[in-house]
Each structure stands twice: as C-alpha cells, then as structure tokens.
Amino acid sequence: MSGGGPPPDDQLSRALTRLNALEKVIENMTKGFRRYAGTVTTASACAVSISNDITRFYNDNAPRLTSVKKFAESQQKIDSEASRLFDHEMNFDLIPIFADW
C-alpha cells in the first residue's frame, strides 16, 4: 500500500466482513446481558414472593417469626439491589456502551 491511496478492494472487503462479524458479536453480547439481567431480576422478585409466603406461613409462630422477618428483609434488599443494578445500570449505563460500539 504505497503511494497513500485507498487500500485494495480485497482488503476493504475483508475489513467489512470483520466489522460485520464484530457487529454480530456485540448484538449477541447485548442480548445475552439483557437476558441475564432479566433472569436475575425475575429470580430476585420470586425470592421476595417466596419470603412473603414463608412470612405468612410462620406468622403465628413467635419463635420463628424473628428469623423469618430477617429472611424477608434480606430478600427485599437483594431484590432492590438487583433491580438497581440490573434494571437501571445495565439499561442506562452498560447497554448504551454496546450501542456506541
């Protein structure tokens, strides 16, 4: 590639093929992150639902109620953190970075 002209067509074609492959990789990574985030937030919401059921089940059992309430509180904190991290930060911080690529 002497003379400062544009690269030959075959080099441009290979570069375009690589860029298209990179775009597909980024799209797949984005989809994967979205699925993962959705799975984590769904799982944490299910854990809250289960902890609520357990709390209702043991509501009349004073010896276990303290530990059950602590369990429910911890599940709600996990759900809150998962929602913050995977709903907000992934969708508003990480996913746009993939789009910028």
Question: DSSP label at 93?
Answer: I
- Interval 41-88: pLDDT, tens: 899 999 999 999 999 999 888 888 899 999 999 999 999 998 888 877
Length reported for the chain: 101
Q: How many Å apart are CA 7 and CA 11, to the nearest integer?
A: 6
pLDDT digits (tens, 9 = 90+) for 71-82: 999 999 999 998
Tokens of 101: 């690529």
pTM over 0.85: no
pLDDT for 101 = 67
- Mean pLDDT of the chain, nearest integer: 87
Distance CA 69, CA 59 (A): 9
Mean pLDDT of 13-38: 90
